[in-house]
Chains A and B, each alone.
Chain A
Amino acid sequence: MGEWMTVTDPDLSSESKNICQYTSETKMSPSSLYSQQVLCSSIPLSKNVHSFFSAFCTEENIEQSISYLDQELTTFGFPSLYEESKGKDTKRELNIVAVLNCMNELLVLQRKNLLAQENVETQNLKLGSDMDHLQNCYAKLKEQLETSRREMIGLQERDRQLQCKNRNLHQLLKNEKDEVQKLQNIIASRATQYNHDMKRKEREYNKLKERLHQLVMNKKDKKIAMEVLNYVGRADGKRGSWRTGKTEASFFLRNEDEMYKILLNDYEYRQKQILMENAELKKVLQQMKKEMISLLSPQKQKPRERADDSTGTVLSDAEEDAGELSRESLWDLSCETVREQLTNSIRKQWRILKSHVEKLDNQVSKVHLEGFNDEDVISRQDHEQETEKLELEIQQCKEMIKTQQQLLQQLATACDDDTTSLLRDCYLLEEKERLKEEWSLFKEQKKNFEKERRSFTDAAIRLGLERKAFEEERASWLKQQFLNMTTFDHQNSENMKLFSAFSGSSDRDSLTVHSRPRQKKPHGVSNGSPVCTSKLTKSLPASPSTSDFCQTRSCASEHSSINVLNITPEEPKPNPVGREGTNQKWSMASRPGSQEGCYSGCSSTYRNSHVEKDDLP
């Protein structure tokens, strides 16, 4: 296993790492490897053992086989199967415990080995698949390499071809250039040839013309003539002045004069134009200069402070110039003197302006750069954050506006619904108030009830006391009677028993509903008087009647609730009062919690009634 691991291509990048891991793992746990090997070897061995088990150990060679096993086991590091012999001669006894331990250990080992085998097998599978994957990758990459190599070769080939072409084209270009040169030479030579020929021909032609002229003119052609009826006057009224030999020179001079006059006029005209143009340009220049000076003057201090000598002097020069110029209007003087001053000053100022502008540019760029570096970054970030915040706010506001608009629209479109809902809200508020009022009323009623209850309880206590007194009286009376007639004694004891049994059952039957007997019971017990019990026995059939009463009470409450439905909430009093009257007995006896529950029930019914009442209008 380790061998083919090392065989795998170590160059494969990611996969190789995995492999390394795997290999390292396997190397890290030599024990497992060992066990694996053991397992591998043991599996066939055990099989073999199994197959010739019968042959290995028979009844005859038990001793030998045991000793053999002992030997084997000891060689593998297990404890001996035999007990420690006391003497040499004594026969070594087989130590069953050791055998069993050994067996157990072997079994554990076997299990471990099996597990390890399983692990190794899965690992093997994994590695196999990895191997496959890697092989695939390898193949793919190989293919890629091949294709790219082919491509490269193709590109190289193309490059070579292009270069070849380029060379050819260069050659062609050179040829063409040569051709052009040649052709130009040819053209030039042809041109000279042509000119030469032309000249020759022209000379011939001229000769011919001359000859023709002579011929034509010498013939004294009569035909060449002008017939005029009468000569007309000149357009300008002058007499025809035709040149004659004598006046020729003077005429010529006059013509020359005229020509020069014309030329002079033209030049004068042009000069005037140029002067005008110049004057305008000068004006513009002057204005520009003034503006420049005014523009630059506020910054005079700064450059001087910076000890910038050149600009300082230049500025002073400029000032001087400005002073001069303002002093005397040199503009109208000849250009020669002014021009240099003007151009120089303008140039200087222009230089200043330029440097100033450049400085400004630099500053701006610096500021820009700085802005990227430190403080301004923060400010910018802040700015951005602020803007973001503001944008968010704006968005929120917009949303708000939107929703409001929607609401408004809804209001506009479905005005009725809204008004009803609003009205309903109003109603609810009213009802709340009403309910509060009612609640307070109820509370008052409750107080009243409590008062009454208290009075009732007082009355009941009094009644109880009175009854007690009455019972005591009766007991005394009965005593007297009992003492008078002792024969009834036995019967009375039986009654006693009966009562106790019944009381237990009643207790079990209804703890909540039949609260009265339970309450009464201690009373009765405390009394412990047979008279009382006898009385109670009389009231035994009355216990269901109490339940009935309870039913009637519930009925009454139902009835009252029904009544409540019909009556106005402003006058709840008579009904509860009436109920009070009907419920007097049970209310006195029932627990306060249940009563409260009843109240709550009542209130709930009230609420219900209100809800129902809502629907009525």
Chain B
Amino acid sequence: MNFSEVFKLSSLLCKFSPDGKYLASCVQYRLVIRDVNTLQILQLYTCLDQIQHIEWSADSLFILCAMYKRGLVQVWSLEQPEWHCRIDEGSAGLVASCWSPDGRHILNTTEFHLRITVWSLCTKSVSYIKYPKACQQGIAFTRDGRYMALAERRDCKDHVSIFVCSDWQLLRHFDTETQDLAGIEWAPNGCVLAVWDTCLEYKVLLYSLDGRLLSAYCAYEWSLGVKSVAWSPSSQFLAVGSYDGKVRILNHVTWKMITEFGHPATVNNPKTVVYKEAEKNPQLALGRLAFPAPRAAASPASNTESKYEIASAPVSLQTLKPIADRANPKIGVGALAFSPDNYFLATRSDSVPNAVWIWDIQKLRLFVVLEQLSPVRSFQWDPQQPRLAICTGGSKVYLWSPAGCLSVQVPGEGDFQVLSLCWHFSGDSMALLSKDHFCLCFLETEERVGTAFGRPGDHT
């Protein structure tokens, strides 16, 4: 495993281009485009203000930089550096900006969710979509980029509008049986739309592309409900994480629950492997480590290196006592992610903040639990293979694969606190983001690591 040198960064704005050739990062009001392989600066764009949001167009030709404070969006072209485009929302303000899947339209949401403006880069025309709903996930595009589902609120009722992205025609418009719709998400095949209600009520609704209600699922009443939702890449399963600390898996045929995964604080099943991160004494010899982290061991800098130890059967995990009288209590399953090959589901229960639970979807049982020393900030699957990268806000990045797991110290002077990470689509490298810096971590170049990890076929 190799690490690049550390580059400056602000606001955690660092993104790989969809084609994997470029890396965009922001430093204050400057946008830096680098080559992924050489890391040389290809372009440098200067925006009008501090950039708050960047997004690559789907064809990797354009990149938009949003400056919400000013209500401004600037678009840059990689092919024509002299080309520029500036969209000013004026007094209407700006709270969100995104590309349409075709990469030629930009959707800007005004303040107070008054409307969504669709700007076209091809023509002068502008269109507006009224009544967008202010919710955590109100816009969803199908994976093929054909359709956009938009949550709306009209007359105190939730609606969903489905637009055809090619010409922004309204295809379907239907009201949903939700109290207060919280999010929508397309199935990867683009035929089913999952709609879930606010946390006050457990309700998951499934709509067909043509607006028919396929099924409604409610696990329980009178308690806080859905916290997170994730589709499996095959569209076969819908995982619903809720505030009762369970993940329920729905199937795509009957839309009934197949199984539910609890997240108890103690892991009793001896078949479940529990990896516990432990502080490593730097004096220890390499050979004694259960999972030697070559780079980390080689780097002389830090003395807070850690390793994973396999804990034996009844393992009690560190739990967080939630504060009951505050909003958004730290309970329930807050993060869910299927591995790209559908075999694994990684979850994080917010009441057990240090642990990542990895479930075997084939056998529908708990497979591995990783307990870190500090709360898990985020985790992301390798887009190519079942390999999970985890960061906890410390100076280490953690990797898990069915073959095992390791903890890697990020080298460099000072403390590089990994707050976020994002994979390159090839799975060969990933960007590690700290508050002010970022660096790239190359996995494929190190042959040893490559062989040490299991390939996708290994775990079947």
- Distance to closest chain B CB from A573 (angstroms): 96
The answer to whether A243 touches B168 (Cβ under 8 A) is yes
Task: Give the complex CA separation of A199 and B91 in angstroms.
Answer: 28
Q: Is A17 an interface residue, CB under 8 A from the partner?
A: no
A-B contact count (CB 8 A): 127
With A232-B122, A240-B122, A243-B169 known as contacts, the answer to whether A226 contacts B146 (CB < 8 A) is no
Chain B 156-178: CB-based contact to A (< 8 A → 1; otherwise 0): 10000000101111011000000
- Report A-chain residues with C-beta under 8 Å of the C-beta of B58: 235
Q: A202-B156, A232-B104, A262-B191 are in contact. Are A223 and B85 (CB under 8 A)?
A: no
CB–CB B169/A259 < 8 A: no
Contact with B along A247-278 (1 / 0, CB 8 A): 01001100110111011001000000000000
CB of A231 within 8 A of CB of B83, answer no
> Is there a chain B Cβ closer than 8 Å to A221's Cβ?
yes
**Binary B-proximity of A183-195 (CB < 8 A = 1, otherwise 0):** 0100100000001
A150 at the interface (CB under 8 A from B): no
Which of B22-30, B123-131, B314-322 binds A?
B123-131
User: Knowing A224-B89, A226-B85 touch, does A235 contact B168 (C-beta < 8 A)?
Assistant: no
Contact status B171-A259, CB under 8 Å: yes
A258–B113 CA distance with the chains assembled, in angstroms: 30
Contact A258 B86 (CB under 8 A): no
B104 touches A228 (CB 8 A): no
Chain A's nearest CB lies how many Å from the CB of B61?
8
Q: List the B side residues contacting A493 at CB < 8 Å.
A: none
A242 is an interface residue with CB less than 8 A from chain B: yes
- A351 beta carbon closer than 8 Å to chain B: no
Known: A252-B169, A263-B191. A221 touches B123 (CB 8 A): no
Contact of A228 among B103, B113, B121, B153 (CB under 8 A): B121
The secondary structure that dominates the B interface is loop
Q: Contact at A216–B86, with CB atoms within 8 Å? A: no
Return chain A residues, CB-CB under 8 Å to B137: none
Known: A203-B156, A260-B210. A226 touches B83 (CB 8 A): no
Nearest opposing residue in chain A for B119, CB measure: A226
Tell me the complex Cα distance, A199–B155, Å: 8
Task: For the complex, give the distance between the alpha carbons of A252 and B167 in Å.
Answer: 10
Contact A256 B171 (CB under 8 A): yes
Residues on B with beta carbons closer than 8 Å to the beta carbon of A217: 92
Give Cα distance in the complex from A228 to B126, angstroms. 13
B92 proximity list for chain A (CB < 8 A): 216-217, 221, 224
Give the distance in Å from the alpha carbon of A241 to the alpha carbon of B210 in the complex.
23
Separation of A251 and B121 alpha carbons in the complex (Å): 21
Contact (Cβ within 8 A) A263 B208: yes
Task: Name the contact of A212 in the complex, choosing from B114, B124, B180 (C-beta under 8 A).
Answer: B114
Query: Could you tell me if B122 and A227 are in contact, using CB atoms closer than 8 angstroms?
Result: no
Interface size on A, residues (CB 8 A): 46
Given A221-B92, A263-B209, A255–B103 Cβ distance below 8 Å?
A: no
Q: In the complex, A260 Cα to B89 Cα: how many Å?
A: 36
Which residue from A221, A229, A231, A235 sits with its C-beta under 8 Å from B90? A221
Q: Verify if B415 is at the interface (C-beta below 8 Å from A).
A: no
Q: Does A213 touch B at the CB level, under 8 Å?
A: yes
Chain A residues whose C-beta falls within 8 Å of the C-beta of B172 in the assembled complex:
259
Task: Name the distance in Å between B85's Cβ and chain A's nearest Cβ.
Answer: 5
**B146 neighbours in A (Cβ, 8 Å):** 258, 262
Given the complex, which residues of A lie within 8 Å of B84, measured CB to CB? 227-229
Q: Scoring B residues 174 to 198 as 1 if CB is less than 8 Å from chain A, else 0, what string do you get?
A: 0000011000000001110000000
Q: Provide the residues of chain B in CB contact with A202, threshold 8 Å.
A: 153, 156
Q: Are A241 and B156 in contact (CB under 8 A)?
A: no
Contacts of B168 in A (CB 8 A): 243
Interface residues of B in 112-162 (CB under 8 A from A): 112-115, 119-126, 130, 146-147, 153, 155-156
**CA–CA, A585 and B414, complex, Å:** 137
CA distance A206 to B113 in the complex (A): 11
Q: A307-329: contact bitstring with B at CB < 8 Å (1 yes, 0 no)? A: 00000000000000000000000
Asked if B91 and A219 sit within 8 Å, CB to CB, the answer is: yes
Q: Look across to chain B and name the residue whose beta carbon is closest to the beta carbon of A221.
A: B90
Roughly how many angstroms separate A259 CA and B209 CA in the complex, as a whole number? Answer: 7
Q: Say whether B167 contacts A231, CB under 8 Å.
A: no
CB neighbours (8 Å) of B90 from chain A are 216, 221-225
* A245, chain B: closest CB distance, angstroms: 12
A-B contact pairs, 13 of them (CB 8 A): A213-B115, A219-B91, A226-B87, A226-B126, A229-B83, A229-B84, A231-B120, A231-B121, A241-B167, A242-B123, A258-B164, A259-B210, A263-B191
List of 8 A-B pairs having minimum Cβ-Cβ separation, nearest first: A223-B90, A240-B122, A224-B90, A240-B123, A221-B90, A266-B191, A227-B86, A199-B156
